[in-house]
Structure 1
Amino acid sequence: MEPIINQPVIETARFDLRPLRRSDKGLIELFAGDPRVALSTSSIPHPLPPGAIDAFITRSLAIPRVEDVWAMDGLKTGGAEVMGLISLTHLDRGQSEVGYWVAPAYWNSHLASEAVQALVAANPQGNQAMFASVFHDNPASAKVLTNAGFVYLGDAETYCLARDAAVPTWTYSRKL
């Protein structure tokens, strides 16, 4: 049996944002193992070490946890059960950090924009603000954030596991 997770399903017209399931492991490994996905995130190593996705799913199902993770599940409109992931990492003072990735097969389909906008509208953690950072070499992801009402705050650097380097980022915030 899978544990009951206290995070909501967030519906959009094309897909649902739903908590992860252990059965998502195969698709997450497939997509997160793609270097194009790993290189666009700070936290996915490349190549994926054995057990990395199992550990990630276990953390996402834990209570308590520091990060709520949703799968972009397109089954209701004929899409894949996992087309990408989106998360909110709990910060202090009623704030969270948004993170997301989309499988390359769904790039340029506005899936990330729709997911971020749905998560902001639902505000499942009751945040006062959300933050996000994107790598300078990923302007499409920056556009996702500005389309969802995020405002540019400034430049920074974030360590990227797949690149084994600090990477320049743009940081954005959205007051709720």
Structure 2
Amino acid sequence: MQMETITNQPLIATPRFDLRPLRRSDKGLIEFFAGDPRVALTTATIPHPLPPGTIEAFIARALADPRVEDVWAMDGLKTGGSEVMGVISLTRLDRNQSEIGYWVAPAYWNSHLASEAVQALVSANPQGNAAMFASVFHDNPASAKVLTNAGFVYLGDAETYCVARQAAVPTWTYSRKL
């Protein structure tokens, strides 16, 4: 059996769940949740419908070394939750900065899971960043609230292409100095 080791990507524990590096065995749950249009339409990069091989390629990139994005599963097994309740990531940018991205499975919406995950990742600051950025679609104010609750400050408006919508979508951009 091939071991999957992720260098320089720690497990980040919270009382309710762990943020842990992805595993190949996460493919089924990630495909199930990411294939839901309610999830895909809130992200820039998840296509809908989900083409075969998309999640396999995503996990392969997350396991690669070197890589530009560190990805964690929101794993609730320790408290009776699902092995994958959502995904959170940090994409390396220049000048000691990163961009945070996340999605939560609809079954866990309105449970403060995203807020706890973002706050845990910011507190751990596993890449040793000086600042983190994030953007959310205008039609997703709940995600904007997650960021402001974690200490992110509104920077301005922009647009991001959404693969699932096949259109440019207005966004709010936020930053947090660390």
- TM-score, shorter chain, exceeding 0.5: yes
Q: Which residue, 13, 16, 20 being the options, matches 2:15?
A: 13
Number of equivalences: 176
Give the Å deviation of 1:3: 2.8
Match for residue 84 of structure 2? 82
RMSD: 0.4
Q: Which residue, 141, 144, 151 being the options, matches 1:142?
A: 144
Give the Å deviation of 1:4: 1.2
Give the Å deviation of 1:2: 2.9
Give the Å deviation of 1:57: 0.2
Trace 1:66-81 onto structure 2 (pairs within 5 A): 66-81=68-83
Match for residue 2 of structure 1? 3
Q: In the aligned structure 2, how far is the partner of 1:136 from the partner of 1:61?
A: 32
Residue 105 (1) aligns with residue 107 (2): yes
Q: What amino acid does structure 2 have at the position aligned with 1:3?
A: E
Trace 1:113-152 onto structure 2 (pairs within 5 A): 113-152=115-154
User: Match of 2:83, SS?
Assistant: coil
Q: In the aligned structure 2, how far is the partner of 1:159 from the partner of 1:145?
A: 20
User: Match of 1:76, SS?
Assistant: helix
Residue 52 (1) aligns with residue 50 (2): no
Q: In the aligned structure 1, how far is the partner of 2:74 from the partner of 2:167?
A: 29
Contact 2:4 2:23 in 1 (8 A): no
User: Match of 2:102, SS?
Assistant: strand
User: Match of 1:4, SS?
Assistant: coil
Give the Å deviation of 1:93: 0.5
Deviations 1:8-44 (A, max 9, x none): 0000010000000000000000000000000000000
Q: After the TM superposition, which segments of 4 or more aligned residues of structure 1 sit over 2 Å from their partners?
A: none
Match for residue 40 of structure 1? 42
Contact 1:20 1:60 in 2 (8 A): yes
Gaps of 5+ in 1: none
Q: What amino acid does structure 1 have at the position aligned with 2:82?
A: A
Match for residue 96 of structure 2? 94
The two structures have a TM-score, normalised by structure 2, of 0.98
Contact 1:2 1:21 in 2 (8 A): no
Fraction of identical pairs, as percent: 85
Q: What amino acid does structure 2 have at the position aligned with 1:107?
A: W
Deviations 1:84-140 (A, max 9, x none): 000000000000000000000000000000000000000000000000000000000
User: Match of 1:124, SS?
Assistant: coil
The two structures have a TM-score, normalised by structure 1, of 0.99
Q: What amino acid does structure 2 have at the position aligned with 1:26?
A: G
Q: In the aligned structure 1, how far is the partner of 2:166 from the partner of 2:44?
A: 10
